[in-house]
Structure 1
Amino acid sequence: MRPVRIFTALTTLLLATTGCAAVAAANPEPESPVRPITACGDLVRGFALPGATTHVTSAAVVPATATDPEYCGVRGYVEPAVRFELRLPTKTYAGRYLQYGCGGFCGVITPPAFADCGLPHGGDVAVAATDGGHVGTTPTVVDDGSWGAHDQAARDDFEFRAPHVVSRASKAIIQAFYGSPPRKSYFTGCSDGGREGLLLAQRYPADFDGIDAGAPANYWGPLLGEYQTWLARANTAADGSPVLTAAKLPALHNAVLAACDRLDGLTDGQLDDPRACRFDPATLTCAGADTPSCLTPAQVAVVRKLYSPPTDAHGTLLYPGGQQPGSELSWAGWIIATPETGGFAFARSLADNYLRYLGYPIGAPASTVDTFAFTRREFDRLTPVGVRYDALSLDLSAFHRRGGKLVLWHGWADEAIPPAGTLDYYQRLTGGHAQDWVRLFMVPSLYHCGGGTTLTEFDPLQQLVAWVERGTTPTVVTATGRDADGNVTRTRPVFAYPRRAVYDGTGSVDDAANFRPAPPASPVRDVVHWAGEYLYAIPGPVAR
């Protein structure tokens, strides 16, 4: 597990330059750029927005580079402390606004990347990002929750307010700079950014025309309080040491592939739907000495526990999913501490910070990873604050009525957020059937928001923009695999769920062109019955 990949997965996630080539293809004529009507420096002032008083603290023209257009770089904050960065192209803007979500517990502004929607110089989109209303202070920043121990305003901003007020502030500044608001607005994010996307669709349906929500952490309270704690505790021995070590993961992963790779009809190093895999880790039990090629009985028990959702003593599920077969190599760093991650596991750090500082009302008794009890009582004790973060409402009717489009996606090998939760939410939302306003894409072998064994990148933003602006419903998005040097090693079509990709029998299995869509191999039954089913009916707070 490379620390850079983990940090990327926890921060704003997938802020690599994105493209809108699908829009350009549908409209080959370049769109006329919108010119500024005022000087960049004149934006340094206040914007008296009701409930979102905004202060621009700096604004300066940044020269064009080989990759970015010339732009007006704006920095500021929405009271009390929601910091943001907004980049306004000076020569190439075409009327679109793109806002990025943040990851983990946020706490840092990752510079927003420009997206090229077809103009000669790129950067035809105004882009923005925020820190979520606070500044993280730990070495990795985004796993720090101490800022929320005694500050309810900071909690409010991170829980639900920050992405909404930044959208309002950015649009007001865009109007001041160009003379009109953006004609189309988009939001993209993964992990907490995916949660923010769903939160915006549910609670602020007028903010965005299109939302791209990857691996959404929308089951926030149970995810941080129950599931990450479960991951940490499952692999902790009585003396505090890890039971399962990173050295065992290659053999475990190879055994999973040997048992299950062929089940999808193609032996290609990935599990297209790991739910079909019935791998028993006991087949790797050491017959003699403990070596990296086998598992001790205690390690077998840990692997079984990781593959399972957290439960109480009565078997009640406390979260709707567990690790999927095929995800094993990604456990290093997230579940298992490694030298590359500073000797700690991110699941433990996130869970402990949440339980100590963020998961309970200010002043109420808190908990820790090591003292938390997996009981229904503790589950319910996390709920009053958890529902403020959660984005579980099934009522997206206002977003739908406005013509909003939603793209959900998740990696099948996600080590941080089980894909079963997204599948459960999608089936509850749609009945498991594709709708005219929401699509779900499930990506084989993809880790949390990026990285993986065979497929490492997935970005449906092009398809989302084409859907909103051209009415082109997304039915397929191509996933890409790259090696450590950035070379493309595989492309594979990912069809809108529940359709799957099937090899047509000719050509390379690493070429997306050689696959066709097929119906699901078995009926879709993705609803999970668990302790938090009542959470879908609880509306979250809304700040105007």
Structure 2
Amino acid sequence: MVAAMVLLAGVTRFLGAEPATATAGTIATTSTGADHSTTVPGCAGLEQTRIPSSAMSLPTTGGRVVSASVMTSLVSGETIKYCQVDAEIHPVDPAAPDIRMRIDLPYDWNRKAMMFGGGGYNGTIPDLTAKVPFGPTDQPTPLARRYATFASDSGHRQSPDAVPSLDGSFGVNDEALNNFAAGDALKKTRDASLFLIRHAYGTKPAEVYFAGGSTGGREALNVAQRWPKAFDGVISAFPAWNNLSEVLDLGYLAQVLSRPGAFPGPEKQTLLYDSVINACDGLDGVKDKVVSNPRGCDFDPRELRCAGGVDTGPSCLSDPQIKAVTAMSSPFRWPYRIASGETQYPGFPFLSGADMRTPFLGFGTAAPANPMPVTSGYGLQYWEQWVKYFLTRDPHHNSLDVDPRHPGKWLDRISYLSTVQDRNSVDLRPFARAGGKLILLHGAADELVSVRSTSDYYQRVRDVVGPRATHAFTRYYVVPGANHANFGTPAFAAGWDSLSALERWVERGQPPTNPIVADANHDRTRPLCAYPDWPRYRTGDPDSAASYVCTR
């Protein structure tokens, strides 16, 4: 996610008054009535192009192209030629940072565009040659399909000394905060990118899609909520849509895990994960280390209690550790009102944060402290950044001194931030009326964003829009065994060609039918069941999706 442009040069081309300039060796062009379009980007003509503020629906002071270069890269096993455009969008507040953005404009353009969402606190431009979240390894990425791909840093640049995606220091500036948390940078980037796409090819895209996971998943839902006509189809994976609510839960867990003797070390985390698998693995009809129906997994951590509740080693959990893991898996409710209307965060299934194959995303390997260790869990470090730069705006503030249950003088600020960070509008009827289609995905063993939270959002949409109307434009799939973004070595490394499914739905009116998800780490497949269904083993090869039936 990056930056963009400034003023009046090129406006006539944006309006279609003259054809875009193509580079040497132009391929055959296609005529579209009054517009003159080509499948070859006019890369040389983009250098130093200024983007007028009028090209963007939200306030900016315009932008400009910083560089435009013809590139060749190996993408999905194929050499792709494209024009890489770096640009920047200038803020209204001179103290706010630019939005840095990038667009990859392929030769042999397919007349479609794809915007990628970010992750964590953003601060870098996503890889525009990458696949969509949970995308398959054996299918071409959007750029390899000749999509024009674009994204931005959401309006701030991460410090080179920071842990990737964990620099919240931009939060001290209101415009930067709104660009990121409220999603203003999304629409600014989209508008600037479409301006440059038309400038390069002489025509606008026939379809524009959005794909993102985690923070990018929240961004995907955000664009459907706030700008229902801006994107034709959206893929939202493991979305952190109620960001403020989750932050409060993470802050509570930071306090719980920082208590003396409460933090379960790596060996105890492995014990907990293995115990949950042993207790719940066969409930779907087959033992394969994948729990297909986590809601049916009724595990009590007190079964692992040390004698007398005192820590006696790695083969059991002490009473403080049992309280800590129970807190992690339980809903966190706060005894006060916040402006977004949220009242709780649903907690994480036992199956998630204890998997030591991805300790960074779960508990981490060190207890929370001040300052927060880089070996603590990702969410705990996220909390510390939020306290320092979003809440108190004091980089020296001890995050463990803020109690999410009793925030005291910080309550009003928390309530305000909830209106910015909780993107919880569930009336998606304007998006549906505009013809938009939404695919929601979440791994059942996600360590960082609770799958229960996405299920909650989906159910709210059904309650407001209606089950039949929701089914007409939305599909929600929970992937058994999948974790957050296939990080590390998950039990099931999910891969499904959601982009092709979305294309068929948007462009041909064909909704997803009997989708199958593959495990990239093992030679096996499963049916991708529409929530609340889950795959139950019937008979036959347990590694084949044909041996399962979706049930509830």
Matched position secondary structure for 2:267:
helix
Q: Which residue of 2 aligns with 1:298?
A: 320
Q: Which amino acid in 2 is paired with 1:436? A: A
Give the Cα–Cα distance (whole angstroms) in 2 for the partners of residues 120 and 231 of structure 1.
38
Distance 1:43-1:512 versus aligned 2 partners, 3 A rule = farther
Q: Which residue of 1 aligns with 2:112?
A: 96
Give the one of 495, 501, 505 matched to 1:467: 505
Is residue 446 from structure 1 mapped to residue 482 from structure 2 by the alignment? Answer: yes
Give the Cα–Cα distance (whole angstroms) in 1 for the partners of residues 186 and 142 of structure 2.
30
Superposition deviation, residue 175 in structure 1? 0.5
1:125-524 residue pairs with structure 2 within 5 A? 125-137=147-159, 138-149=161-172, 151-159=173-181, 160-224=183-247, 226-238=248-260, 243-287=263-307, 290-312=312-334, 318-327=343-352, 328-329=354-355, 332-338=359-365, 342-359=374-391, 368-375=399-406, 381-431=413-463, 433=467, 435-451=471-487, 453-459=490-496, 460-483=498-521, 488-507=522-541, 509-518=542-551, 520=552
Distance 1:379-1:332 versus aligned 2 partners, 3 A rule = farther
Give the Cα–Cα distance (whole angstroms) in 1 for the partners of residues 210 and 329 of structure 2.
32
Distance 1:294-1:489 versus aligned 2 partners, 3 A rule = farther
* Paired residues of 1:231 and 1:335 also in contact (CA < 8 A): no
The count of corresponding residues between Structure 1 and Structure 2 is 478
Q: Which runs of 5+ in 2 are unaligned?
A: 3-28, 31-36, 92-97, 132-137, 367-372
* Paired residues of 1:68 and 1:123 also in contact (CA < 8 A): no
Give the Cα–Cα distance (whole angstroms) in 2 for the partners of residues 231 and 271 of structure 1.
25
Give the Cα–Cα distance (whole angstroms) in 2 for the partners of residues 344 and 35 of structure 1.
49
Matched position secondary structure for 1:449:
helix
Superposition deviation, residue 103 in structure 1? 0.7
Distance 1:120-1:479 versus aligned 2 partners, 3 A rule = closer
* Paired residues of 1:189 and 1:213 also in contact (CA < 8 A): yes
Give the Cα–Cα distance (whole angstroms) in 2 for the partners of residues 121 and 388 of structure 1.
32
Superposition deviation, residue 332 in structure 1? 2.1
Superposition deviation, residue 329 in structure 1? 0.3
Distance 1:49-1:141 versus aligned 2 partners, 3 A rule = same
* Paired residues of 2:445 and 2:480 also in contact (CA < 8 A): yes
Q: Which residue of 2 aligns with 1:532?
A: none
Distance 1:207-1:141 versus aligned 2 partners, 3 A rule = same
Matched position secondary structure for 1:399:
helix
Give the one of 28, 46, 49 matched to 1:45: 49
**Which structure has the bigger radius of gyration?**
2
* Paired residues of 2:242 and 2:424 also in contact (CA < 8 A): yes
Distance 1:470-1:295 versus aligned 2 partners, 3 A rule = same
Residue by residue over 1:193-213, the C-alpha shift from the partner in whole angstroms, topping out at 9 and shown as x without a partner, is 011111101111121000001
Matched position secondary structure for 1:427:
helix
Superposition deviation, residue 388 in structure 1? 1.4
Superposition deviation, residue 68 in structure 1? 4.2
Matched position secondary structure for 2:320:
helix
* Paired residues of 2:346 and 2:450 also in contact (CA < 8 A): yes
Give the Cα–Cα distance (whole angstroms) in 1 for the partners of residues 288 and 208 of structure 2.
39
Residue by residue over 1:133-188, the C-alpha shift from the partner in whole angstroms, topping out at 9 and shown as x without a partner, is 00111432311111222x11211211221111111111111111111011000000
Superposition deviation, residue 307 in structure 1? 1.2
Q: Which amino acid in 1 is paired with 2:390? A: L
Give the Cα–Cα distance (whole angstroms) in 1 for the partners of residues 543 and 428 of structure 2.
38
Cα-Cα RMSD = 3.1
Matched position secondary structure for 1:409:
strand
* Paired residues of 1:69 and 1:123 also in contact (CA < 8 A): no
Residue by residue over 1:40-89, the C-alpha shift from the partner in whole angstroms, topping out at 9 and shown as x without a partner, is 35343102142352311000101243534100000011112111111000
* Paired residues of 1:195 and 1:390 also in contact (CA < 8 A): no
* Paired residues of 1:41 and 1:60 also in contact (CA < 8 A): no
Q: Which residue of 1 aligns with 2:123?
A: 107
Matched position secondary structure for 2:471:
coil
* Paired residues of 2:238 and 2:484 also in contact (CA < 8 A): yes
Q: Which residue of 2 aligns with 1:528?
A: none
Superposition deviation, residue 313 in structure 1? 7.1
Structure with more contact order per residue of length (Cα contacts < 8 Å, sep ≥ 6): 1
Give the Cα–Cα distance (whole angstroms) in 2 for the partners of residues 228 and 67 of structure 1.
42
Provide the TM-score with structure 1 as the length reference. 0.80
Q: Which amino acid in 2 is paired with 1:370? A: D
Superposition deviation, residue 408 in structure 1? 1.0
Q: Which residue of 2 aligns with 1:60?
A: 69
Distance 1:204-1:119 versus aligned 2 partners, 3 A rule = closer
Q: Which amino acid in 2 is paired with 1:325? A: F
Give the Cα–Cα distance (whole angstroms) in 1 for the partners of residues 139 and 299 of structure 2.
45
* Paired residues of 1:71 and 1:89 also in contact (CA < 8 A): yes
Give the Cα–Cα distance (whole angstroms) in 2 for the partners of residues 99 and 369 of structure 1.
37
Superposition deviation, residue 357 in structure 1? 0.9
Q: Larger deviation: 45-54 or 190-199?
A: 45-54
* Paired residues of 1:348 and 1:369 also in contact (CA < 8 A): no
Give the one of 90, 94, 115 matched to 1:79: 90
* Paired residues of 2:252 and 2:403 also in contact (CA < 8 A): no
Residue by residue over 1:246-285, the C-alpha shift from the partner in whole angstroms, topping out at 9 and shown as x without a partner, is 1112221121122222223332212212121221111112
Superposition deviation, residue 36 in structure 1? 2.6
Q: Which residue of 2 aligns with 1:540?
A: none
Superposition deviation, residue 222 in structure 1? 1.2
Residue by residue over 1:104-134, the C-alpha shift from the partner in whole angstroms, topping out at 9 and shown as x without a partner, is 1101112212669989993410111211100
Matched position secondary structure for 1:157:
helix
Give the Cα–Cα distance (whole angstroms) in 1 for the partners of residues 141 and 524 of structure 2.
29
Give the Cα–Cα distance (whole angstroms) in 1 for the partners of residues 192 and 281 of structure 2.
49
Matched position secondary structure for 1:84:
strand
Superposition deviation, residue 498 in structure 1? 2.1
Residue by residue over 1:300-323, the C-alpha shift from the partner in whole angstroms, topping out at 9 and shown as x without a partner, is 221111111223479x99523111
Identical pairs, percent: 29
* Paired residues of 1:100 and 1:189 also in contact (CA < 8 A): yes
Q: Which residue of 1 aligns with 2:14?
A: none
Q: Which amino acid in 2 is paired with 1:492? A: R
